[in-house]
Amino acid sequence: MTDLANPPIAARPAPATHSLPARYKGATVLAIGAHPDDLELAIGGTLAKLRETGARVVMGVVSIPADYETRRAEAEAAAAILGCELRVLVDGGRTQRIEDMKTYELVKVLDAVIKELQPAAVLTHGPSEFHRDHVLVYDAAISTQRLRYFDFFCYHPNFCRPVPVQFHPRAYVDVSDTIEAKMAAIAAHRSQFGNRNLPIDIYRDIARMNGRIVGVQYAEGLDVGRMLLA
């Protein structure tokens, strides 16, 4: 038996030149999520870390599907906790379901924000999500890669109630220092969790499991769509 109190991989600090802060310091990082709460669940720790270390981090929420006032307020509170800028990309002060948009309209919305922000990295949903809106956003985000170069990452599939979904991280972000901000940002979405008596500890568990894989306390996993190693 191995001692489970010790990580199987020795925690060894990555060289500073390999760090996330070094890669994106002073640059803009755009995270795209279909709905309020998607970004917090998947990469809240990563976004807080990027922000704390000098990147401009924009949380692009495609639309608010229901309960506009409440969910917008929750998204604003969560973004403030993470220190990031919130953008609702299809707004107009009302709810909008992504499935009701034409594909070209969704691509146009994402194209516009990419052209405006010129991000160094984009993080968004992956193709294996079970929520149709998430897959639609992934498909539209994929096509924005034609506009210019940026690093492209996909994050862990999201759910309010756990379901089996396929995801293989190929990069990990050490979020040991920002896990509490992530959990607080998730908790800010009361209409999705607290008010429905849905526990949020599974998101800490996922981060703990990813951390164990790479020898740190907490980590968030990313799939790499494209990444320029210069």
Which x/- pattern, by CB under 5 A, does the window 85-104 give for Zn ion? --------------------
- Mapping DSSP onto H, E and C, the string for 169-218 reads CCEEEECCCCHHHHHHHHHCCCCCCHHHCCCCHHHHHHHHHHHHHHCCCC
Assess contact for 86 and 73: CB atoms under 8 A. no
- Which of 15, 162 has the CB closer to Zn ion? 162
- CA dist., res. 122 & res. 58, Å (int): 10
Query: Which residue has the CB atom at the shortest distance from Zn ion?
Result: 35
Exposure string over 71-90, b if 16+ CB within 10 A, otherwise e: bbebbebbbebbebbbbbbb
Task: Count Cα neighbours of 136 within 13 Å in the Cβ-side half-sphere.
Answer: 19
Least spacing, CB of residue 159 vs Zn ion, in Å: 9
Give the range of 33-41, 91-99, 103-111, 148-156 binding Zn ion by CB under 5 A.
33-41
Q: Which helix (H) or strand (E) holds 31?
A: strand 28-33
When binding is defined by CB under 5 A, the residue of 38, 40, 129, 220 that contacts Zn ion is: 38
Q: Which helix (H) or strand (E) holds 111?
A: helix 103-117
When binding is defined by CB under 5 A, the residue of 35, 51, 182, 189 that contacts Zn ion is: 35
Q: Which helix (H) or strand (E) holds 223?
A: strand 219-226
- Which of 138, 218 has the CB closer to Zn ion? 138
Least spacing, CB of residue 64 vs Zn ion, in Å: 11
Give the range of 35-43, 178-186, 187-195, 198-206 binding Zn ion by CB under 5 A.
35-43
Least spacing, CB of residue 137 vs Zn ion, in Å: 9
Which x/- pattern, by CB under 5 A, does the window 60-79 give for Zn ion? --------------------
Least spacing, CB of residue 188 vs Zn ion, in Å: 15
Give the range of 37-45, 50-58, 109-117, 162-170 binding Zn ion by CB under 5 A.
37-45
Which residues contact residue 76 at a Cβ distance below 8 angstroms, ignoring those fewer than 6 apart? 86
Q: Can you say whether residue 163 is alpha, beta or left, with left for phi > 0 and alpha for psi between -120 and 50 degrees?
A: beta
Q: Does 34 bind Zn ion (CB under 5 A)?
A: yes
Q: Coil, helix or strand for 91? A: coil
Give the range of 13-21, 26-34, 60-68, 94-102 binding Zn ion by CB under 5 A.
26-34
Residues that bind Zn ion (CB under 5 A): 34-35, 38
